[in-house]
Amino acid sequence: MKKSNTGKRIITMTALLCASSMVLGGCGLFSGEEEKQSISIVRENMADDYNVINCEKRDVVLTSTVSCSYTQLMEENLAFPVGDKTVAFVYVNEGDEVKAGDLLAKLDVEQLEKDNVTMTEEIEKNEFLIKQADEMIEFYENKLNSQSLSLSSKESYLSKLQKLREKRRDYGDANEFDRIKISANEQQITAGSLYAGMDGNISFIKNDLLGSNANAQEKVITILNAGVCGFQTNDRYAVDYINVGDRVTVEINSSEVTYDATVTQVDKDAFKIIYELDQPDYSIPMGTRGKITVVRGEAKNVWALPTNCVFQTEDFYYVYILNDDGVREMRKVTVGIVGDEYVEITGGISEKETVILRQS
């Protein structure tokens, strides 16, 4: 629709007057401390760049999507707690089925075992000598209590008694030391044997494990239980809003197949989330990729606007409204949930006011 020359002159004068007012202190559309900027918009030309919309009642939903992969969830990584010893025996191969309590590998602890045998024999010998010393100590103590004992005999018995007591103390100290050493050796012998902690299959054995020098806490054998599988997410942010017990739907990337699952583990330190299927499907190949959409927030039947007409600064949210004079005004608004497609509007405008919706 074409305007007359008179109309064009009026529009030009209006724009000039508004511009002059802004230079002198603003158009005065916002009162108080905050000054509202306004731009004159010709209604006939608005349709070229903008659409308009009103607040409407609707549901606002905020979701997040995280990726996941299908994996075996129940595994046990085994390591020797002690190092600097040679692996002398490996009793399993990859793929072998094992039961909890099975001996899987053992360090070379033969010398420790020999040392313990030697020290045990030494303890038994010292215990015999201690018994003999106790008998002699009792004998000399009885002699010293005799009334007819001469002074020289008493001094001799006292000297022998002192030596016997010193020997007995030496035997006792040696046995105490050997018992401590035997206990330490037994701990190392026990730590030098790896046992399966669960039923499953051997999925990993360190290369050339037999004959190698073990490093303390280094993983050498892994057991997997193929009967416990599910999906796993590794996401440093998702662990903050997904919780144990949440119900989710897993959508497989390569198909339209979905699975219902429950969150059974959230490890915030490892950024790991585990979802176990409500109905296990052992036909799913390991490594299958999927995605999970999680509802993080929801508001039902609230006043809302599309997200592309609500703007944000560091301090507040705002929209542009079109007033009755055809002027675009910036208007602060308060919001609730900022959803995927809509923003909940809790204040700042009414449902009757026209909001400018920028065309995409």
Ranges 3-12, 163-172, 320-329, most confident:
163-172
How close are the terminal C-alpha atoms of the chain, in Å? 25
- Which pLDDT value is given to residue 38? 39
Answer yes or no: is 266 within a domain. no
pLDDT, one tens digit per residue, over 77-110 is 999 998 888 999 999 999 899 999 999 999 999 9
Q: Is the pLDDT of residue 118 over 60?
A: yes
Q: Is the pLDDT of residue 343 over 90?
A: yes
Answer yes or no: is 281 within a domain. no
In this structure, what DSSP letter does residue 238 have? G
| Amino acid at the residue 189 | I
Paired sense of beta strands 258-267 and 213-214, if any: unpaired
- Angle 343-344-348 from CA coordinates, rounded to 5°: 105
- Which pLDDT value is given to residue 347? 95
Number of domains observed in the structure of the chain: 1
**Closest CA relative to residue 238, chosen from 273, 264, 263, 270:** 273
Q: Is the pLDDT of residue 34 over 70?
A: no
Rounded alpha-carbon distances, angstroms, from residue 236 to 62, 227, 269, 287: 19, 28, 9, 20
Using 50, 70 and 90 to split pLDDT, how confident is the model at 359?
low
* Mean pLDDT, residues 342-357: 92
Token pair 């607040």 in the structure block, residue: 55
Task: Compute and round to an integer the Cα radius of gyration of the chain.
Answer: 43
The reported pTM is 0.47
- Which pLDDT value is given to residue 227? 66
β-pair partners for 223 = 76, 202
The domain that holds 308 is classified in CATH as 2.40.420.20
Answer yes or no: is 247 within a domain. no
Answer yes or no: is 91 within a domain. no
d(C-alpha 95, C-alpha 98), whole Å: 9
The more confident residue out of 347 and 43 is: 347
User: Phi and psi at residue 239, in whole multiples of 5°?
Assistant: -65, -15
d(C-alpha 283, C-alpha 330), whole Å: 57
In this structure, what DSSP letter does residue 324 have? T
pLDDT, one tens digit per residue, over 241-292 is 999 999 999 999 888 899 999 999 999 988 999 998 988 787 788 889 999 9
d(C-alpha 140, C-alpha 163), whole Å: 11
Answer yes or no: is 325 within a domain. yes
Answer yes or no: is 31 within a domain. yes
Using 50, 70 and 90 to split pLDDT, how confident is the model at 5?
very low
Q: Is the pLDDT of residue 143 over 90?
A: no
CB of 300 within 8 A of CB of 58? no
Answer yes or no: is 168 within a domain. no
Q: What are the start-end ranges of the H helices in the chain? A: 5-24, 43-46, 110-144, 151-191
Q: Which domain holds residue 26?
A: 5-62+298-358
β-pair partners for 311 = 318
Answer yes or no: is 51 within a domain. yes
